[in-house]
Structure 1
Amino acid sequence: MKKDAGNFKSASSDDDFTNILAHIKSSSTPVSNQPHFNSHTFFFFFSFLSSLQAVIDYGASWCRVCSQILPAFCRLSNNFPRLTFVYADIDECPETTQHIRYTPTFQFYRHGEKVDEMYGAGEERLHDRLWLHS
């Protein structure tokens, strides 16, 4: 089953996930193709993270602050081509996001290791943190 959520692709099969990884590997990935994962594909992404610098935005469709920062997250993805940007909805990925206590939460990864975490929104704060990790 494949469904779209806003400007993000939602993958629910290995084939969909393979297509998302192809988009991630391309530095010219348009905002509308930034990956959105569910519980079927999120686990596989972490095995792929070992060779990436990535930022994961953990949010929820019912969270007003998450909805407000998501467009900025998309825009900022174009400014930081060295980072892979991922959105994970905590309701769609309950097994892999059970450690998330606040939304939005931004986690920064380098070579598969979490190196930083930020809670809450604020485009300028997010931009500064992305700059530190790019």
Structure 2
Amino acid sequence: MERGNEDGIALDLAVKLNRHGNLKIASSDQNLKDILLHINSSKSPAVINYGASWCRVCSQILPAFYQLSNNFRKLCFVYADIDECPETTRHIRYTPTFHFYRDGERVDEMFGAGEERLQDRLWLHS
């Protein structure tokens, strides 16, 4: 599937807003598998945002997700587009879905958007 213009804008935004380098963008199934392996082996806290370029709610929360990555420097932030990583994300039923990891294990999930809700969860898991 081709990347749309919106994805390119979102990726550009990620680069500009992620000043501390703790945000990764999964570009393929293999890339997401590698990121998950790193999360599991490093046991560092992480949050994965599963979204889609066609999802209006995902597009609305994405800038806040990128900005929050600067406020929670100890967390690894990951964005995975379900269309770019179809095999690895086949278990995702709603977008956006956020998975929170601690000590290599998934410990929480959040469905839907809401910047305040997301910030509260990030604070809880950081």
TM-score where L is the length of structure 2: 0.82
Q: CA RMSD in A?
A: 1.9
Larger helix fraction of residues: 2
Counterpart of 1:55, as a letter, is V
Unaligned runs of 5+ in 1: 10-26
Tell me the residue number matched to 1:79. 71
Q: Structure 2 CA distance, aligned partners of 1:68 and 1:127? A: 15
Within a 5 Å distance, the mapping from 1:32-43 to structure 2 comes to 34-37=23-26, 38-43=28-33
Deviation by residue 1:103-124 (Cα, 9 ceiling, x = unmatched): 0000001122100000000000
Q: Structure 2 CA distance, aligned partners of 1:45 and 1:62? A: 24
Q: Structure 2 CA distance, aligned partners of 1:130 and 1:74? A: 13
Tell me the residue number matched to 1:70. 62
Q: Structure 2 CA distance, aligned partners of 1:41 and 1:82? A: 21
Q: Secondary structure at the match of 2:98?
A: strand
Deviation at residue 55 of structure 1 after TM alignment = 0.1
Moved over 2 A (4+): 3-9
Deviation at residue 40 of structure 1 after TM alignment = 2.7
Please, which of 5, 8, 11 is the counterpart of residue 8 of structure 2?
5
Identity of aligned residues (%): 63
Tell me the residue number matched to 1:129. 121
**Matched residue pairs, number?**
112
Please, which of 45, 55, 63 is the counterpart of residue 35 of structure 2?
45
Q: Structure 1 CA distance, aligned partners of 2:20 and 2:11? A: 16
Q: Structure 2 CA distance, aligned partners of 1:114 and 1:35? A: 18
Unaligned runs of 5+ in 2: 13-18
Tell me the residue number matched to 1:12. none
Please, which of 80, 89, 98 is the counterpart of residue 106 of structure 1?
98
Q: Structure 1 CA distance, aligned partners of 2:56 and 2:49? A: 14
Cα contact 1:8–1:35 (8 A) shared by 2: no
